[in-house]
Every structure is written in structure tokens, then in C-alpha cells.
């Protein structure tokens, strides 16, 4: 397996409240009214997830129940979450940033680290690299509105950019930047820059934050002024790491990810389906189909996700990293079915998609089997089929090739008995 690329000099791209910004970009008028995004599954209590600044001014806060929020702000606009849409927009952002640098590492939604080492030979000075990143982000920003031409530029997401040695310095710089602007931490000045920053920029939980404030420590400089041994004795290994971050002793490089080409299987229902048993059966069908894909031969599945398009708008998304890579269909399906039982889609499903996104080498026997002559022949046939299907899709401008599978054989209605699966050779 090839070694992952790294970069010590980092640029941090941060878009606060990324899911809410995605909704504002595709719905004109949201940015000018108090808005809140409901928490996605598995939360079933209908609490608020993200809140706009206008809503915050009325006292509405994340974590409130809907009734509490409406009581404080009767004009509050509530939005059902669409995690698939946010995931797709985030993937578009990553794709745009890889046009500037091949070393890209993801954080939470809306947070990306870009490796800057070596880009001077392409763009020139650090200022030119920042200009290239800014242009790419502005182009992605405009594309956020998609087909919605009524969205005003002021409604589009605004990014913050920070550049420094290591991911932590870059993140702190981005958190200090104004919208659509960049803050650069000069090399060698990391400690002086960090000293004046509040301790909230550290990756600490609420309890540690409370204890630090009770000790009178409100800035990173105040934390570093105390002996490292004293902080370690008080907070253990967590305290030691926090002290080293605040002192600029830790330089975490950006680690690029070798993104595998996912194996995808999709199923479109004739009529929207809400029964969990039928959805679980459909997942079994998709897993069986994905496991037969030629690119899966010789490899075990390590990461997977399932997503659903819900009737009337909205989506459902679940992603899992398996404890042990496997090619067993039952073990692959287990976490998906558990999530489906505990936090099902909020409505009837029109389309279900399964993706294998992470792989691990199989046993020696599997690897040998993957390289035999028959496997090579099958791979050649698949390449020919993919080429033909791609040409048809380009000419017709839409998907026209499908598999017909039996999903509910006991039903009298043909629409319920069969389902269409996109043909993706």
C-alpha cells in the first residue's frame, strides 16, 4: 500500500454551520429570517441542531426542543435535515480543493486541512497559494446554489482561511479570520500568536473547560505559563497534550487520504417504501450485488455507508467503519440494519444507495484468486460493459439501463413485487 502524503505547512478551510449554510444556499430567503435545522437521526426528540444568528438573538439555542424554540421565536423557520445533500456538497468542496493541492485531510463537515508544502514551485509565494485557494473556494461557493438562480450571493456560505505550521495553528488562525479572508501565522511565531487566544480553541470537553476557567486560565498563554508537569498531574495525558498544543510544541501534519474508488449499488422503488423489513431486504440485495463487483475480488470491506432519498424531500444517511474488515454479507449488513431499526428514515424511501468506501487486502488465497486468468477476463468484460454503458448515458443524458429484481414476492401488486436497480457494470 502506498504511503500517505503529508505536509507540515497547513491551510485550514472552515465554513461554520456548514449544513445550515447549505440550506440557505438552495433556499432563497432563509438567510434573512430566523432559521433552525432539526437534529438528524438517531435523535427522535425533535431538538434543534444548528441555529442561525438571527435566531440566536431571540434566545434560541442548539439542543432546545421545538416547543421551547417556538415559544421564544414564533417566526422561527424549522428545516428538516438532508444529510445526503450536505455530504455531496462537502465532497464537491474536497474535489475543488484537490485541484490546488493533492494533500487534503477532512475534519467535521465544513472543516478541511490542505497541505501547502511544495506548492511554491507551482504557484510561487505563499500569498499566491492563498490566492489560488481563495479563487477555488469562491468558484465552489457560486456553484453551491446549483439550479436555484434566485439565491443571492450574500446568501452563499462564507469560508474562513487560516495558514500555519501544523493543523492546530492553521485551525486557530481560521477561527480568527473574518468571512472570506485569510489569517497567516508567520513561521517561528506560533507561540506568540497562540498566547492571546482563548482556551476554547483547544479540543477539550465541557468539563475540562469548566475546570480550567475555575483555575483562572482563560487564554493559551495563561495555560503555558504553568509548568507542564503541573497540568499533567491535574488533567493526565489530556492535560499534557493540551499544554503542548498551546505551547506550539506539537506540529500535526496534514495527512492526505488515498481515496478509493467506491463500489456503489442503487435501487429505485416503483412506489415509496416505508416498511423496515422491506428496506432491510433491499439492503441485503444491494450488499449481495456490491460483493459480486469485480473490483471487490480479493478485498474485504472496511468502511461502508447507506443513503436514502425520502419522498417529499429530505434524506437519510448512515456510515460505518467495521471493527474487522470482512467479505461476509451478514456482518456487513448488521450495523446497517441496527441503524435502520434504531433510527429509520423519517418518511417513505424512493431510492436506496449502498456504497463500499474503504477496503482492506484479503487473505493470501483471496489475493491469488483475484489475479487468476478468469478474474482478469471478467475484469476485461466489465471494462467493455462500462464503456458501452457510459456511451449510452452520454447520448441519452440520463440513466436508462436497469436490473429488475424481486424484492417482495408475496405482493399482488407488480409495483411492490419488483424494484429497479441502476445497471452499473
**155-171 confidence digits (pLDDT tens):** 566 899 999 999 999 99
Q: Which three cell numbers stand for residue 230?
A: 503541573
- What is the model's pLDDT at position 158? 83
- What is the model's pLDDT at position 298? 77
- What is the model's pLDDT at position 260? 63
- What is the model's pLDDT at position 352? 94
Burial string for 134-173 (b: 16+ CB within 10 Å, else e) reads bebbeebbeebbeeeeebeeebbbebbbbbbbbbbbbbbb
* Residues β-bridged to residue 78: 36
- What is the model's pLDDT at position 413? 72
- What is the model's pLDDT at position 371? 44
Weakly modelled stretches of the chain, pLDDT under 50: 1-2, 147, 149, 151, 364-376
The HSE-up count of residue 218 (CA atoms within 13 Å, CB side) is 1
Amino acid at each position: 500500500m502506498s504511503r500517505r502524503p503529508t505536509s507540515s505547512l497547513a491551510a485550514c478551510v472552515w465554513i461554520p454551520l456548514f449544513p445550515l449554510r447549505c440550506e440557505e444556499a438552495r433556499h432563497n430567503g432563509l438567510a434573512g429570517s430566523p432559521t433552525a435545522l432539526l437534529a438528524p437521526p438517531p435523535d427522535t426528540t425533535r431538538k434543534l441542531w444548528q441555529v442561525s444568528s438571527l435566531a440566536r438573538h431571540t434566545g434560541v439555542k442548539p439542543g432546545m426542543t421545538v416547543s421551547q424554540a417556538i415559544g421564544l421565536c414564533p417566526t422561527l423557520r424549522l428545516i428538516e435535515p438532508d444529510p445526503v445533500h450536505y455530504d455531496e456538497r462537502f465532497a464537491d468542496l474536497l474535489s475543488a480543493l484537490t485541484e490546488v493541492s493533492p494533500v487534503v485531510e477532512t475534519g467535521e463537515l465544513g472543516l478541511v486541512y490542505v497541505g501547502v508544502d511544495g506548492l511554491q514551485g507551482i504557484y510561487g509565494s505563499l500569498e499566491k497559494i492563498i490566492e489560488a485557494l481563495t479563487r477555488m473556494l469562491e468558484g465552489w461557493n457560486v456553484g453551491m446554489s446549483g439550479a436555484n438562480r434566485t439565491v443571492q450571493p450574500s446568501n452563499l456560505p462564507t469560508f474562513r482561511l487560516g495558514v500555519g505550521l501544523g493543523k492546530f495553528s492553521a485551525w486557530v488562525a481560521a477561527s480568527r479570520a473574518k468571512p472570506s479572508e485569510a489569517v497567516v501565522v508567520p513561521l517561528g511565531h506560533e507561540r506568540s500568536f497562540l498566547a492571546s487566544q482563548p482556551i476554547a480553541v483547544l479540543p477539550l470537553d465541557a468539563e475540562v473547560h469548566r475546570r480550567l476557567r475555575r483555575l483562572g486560565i482563560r487564554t493559551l498563554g495563561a495555560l503555558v505559563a504553568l509548568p507542564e508537569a503541573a497540568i499533567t498531574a491535574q488533567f493526565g495525558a489530556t492535560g499534557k497534550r493540551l499544554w503542548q498544543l498551546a505551547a506550539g510544541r506539537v506540529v500535526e501534519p496534514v495527512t492526505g487520504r488515498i481515496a478509493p474508488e467506491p463500489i456503489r449499488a442503487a435501487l429505485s422503488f416503483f412506489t415509496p417504501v416505508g416498511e423496515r423489513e422491506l428496506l432491510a431486504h433491499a439492503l441485503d440485495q444491494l450488499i449481495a450485488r456490491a460483493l459480486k463487483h469485480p473490483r471487490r475480488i480479493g478485498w474485504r470491506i472496511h468502511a461502508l455507508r447507506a443513503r436514502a432519498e425520502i419522498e417529499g424531500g429530505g434524506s437519510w444517511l448512515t456510515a460505518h467503519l467495521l471493527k474487522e474488515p470482512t467479505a461476509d454479507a451478514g456482518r456487513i449488513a448488521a450495523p446497517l440494519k441496527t441503524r435502520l431499526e434504531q433510527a429509520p428514515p423519517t418518511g417513505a424511501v424512493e431510492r436506496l444507495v449502498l456504497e463500499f468506501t474503504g477496503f482492506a487486502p484479503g487473505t493470501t488465497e483471496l489475493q491469488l484468486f483475484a489475479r487468476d486468468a478468469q478474474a482478469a477476463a471478467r475484469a476485461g468484460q466489465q471494462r467493455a460493459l462500462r464503456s458501452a454503458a457510459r456511451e449510452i448515458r452520454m447520448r441519452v443524458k440520463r440513466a436508462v439501463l436497469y436490473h429488475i429484481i424481486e424484492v417482495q414476492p408475496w405482493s399482488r401488486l407488480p409495483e411492490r413485487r419488483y424494484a429497479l436497480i441502476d445497471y452499473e457494470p
